[in-house]
Amino acid sequence: MKLVSLSINPVPSGATVSEFDGYDGLKLRYALWEPTRGPVRGTVCIVQGRGEFIEKYFEVIADLRRRGFAVATFDLRGQGGSERLLSNPRKGHVLAFTEYDRDLAIFIDEIVKPALPQPLIGLGHSLGGNILLRNAQDEASPFARMVLMAPMIAIHENMLGVSPGIARAYANIACLFGFAGTYVRGGGDEPDDFKDFETNRLTSDHVRWSRNKAIIEAAPELATGSPTVGWLRAALRSTAMLLRPEYPKYVCVPMILFAAGADKVVSTQAIEDFAVDLKFGAHILMPGSRHEILQETDAVRQRFWAAFDAYMGITTASPEKA
């Protein structure tokens, strides 16, 4: 297991890189870092979005370490440097989000807790935000706080192409007839948002978009294409659970949610509605931001880090510039 280093995206120093066994023995790649500055504030566990990989977060990891946080992250099953589930390695596939839940629990208990300082902070993007929200109703959750960026509480209709009800029926029927492992309608091996900058849904920052594309070009084995029908069915089941009116009322982990104002991947309205009913939470709208807030322009990122620092009680001036 190794990390891919490019001149425009070098590996942050001091990384511990290895693999652990997921709940079913699947090999999952992970990386750990100690903070580069004191005081030590705990450990941020980054839970990635669909199709992402550790290398995409090098800039974020450096930002966190300068703030006194250790960092832990792993590539979710079926993506990045982790083992794939189907013969076509580009297919993003699971049958149920409980698979992610069980992998995360093993990672925290067997890898993170023995090696890195408490408290644990969950930092989740998109799919990662969904996974953390599934964890947040558990009174035994290992996380003291959560920071969620464009969490996948509901999938944007722009992504589905049809209403959620029709998408749900399509996924259920296709899986019933044995097509769980096939790509969703219109899907394929190539990551859509790296074909053309002008039409990408992830970021309006050309430099960071080009950097992430360069990583995939240098290490195509990290790339994931479209989701499978099985993944879509699992995602719609998980979002339906989060969308139950009572769900946010029983979330017991304090959290802050960031919604991207120009998001075409997940529903910004669903994030805002969810946050209103939280007992221990708040949300911030990031105007003009596309889906990947921490891959956005410097102006968007600075707003995010200012809010993050205030939430974490960090008063050191401009750590991201140090």
pLDDT at 251: 97
pLDDT of residue 316: 65
Q: Tell me, what amino acid is at 172?
A: N
Write out the H or E segment, with its range, that includes residue 58.
Answer: helix 58-66
- Interatomic CA distance for residues 175 and 216, integer angstroms: 30
**Residue pair 108/82 in contact by the 8 Å Cβ criterion:** no
Q: What integer pLDDT is reported at residue 71 of this predicted model?
A: 98
* Residue 283 contacts residue 271 (beta carbons within 8 Å): yes
Whether the full predicted model's pTM is greater than 0.85, yes or no, is yes
The H-or-E segment that residue 207 falls in is: helix 206-218
pLDDT tens digits, residue range 194-242? 889 999 999 999 999 999 999 999 999 999 999 999 999 999 999 999 9
* Predicted pLDDT at 322: 39
Q: How many residues does the chain have?
A: 322
The pLDDT tens digits of the residues spanning 166-200 come to: 999 999 999 999 999 999 999 999 987 888 999 99
Give residue 159's Cα distance to chain centre: 17
Give the number of C-alpha atoms closer than 13 A to the C-alpha of residue 246, restricted to the C-beta side.
Answer: 0
Confidence of residue 321 (pLDDT cuts 50, 70, 90): very low
As its CATH architecture, domain 16-321 has 3-Layer(aba) Sandwich (3.40)
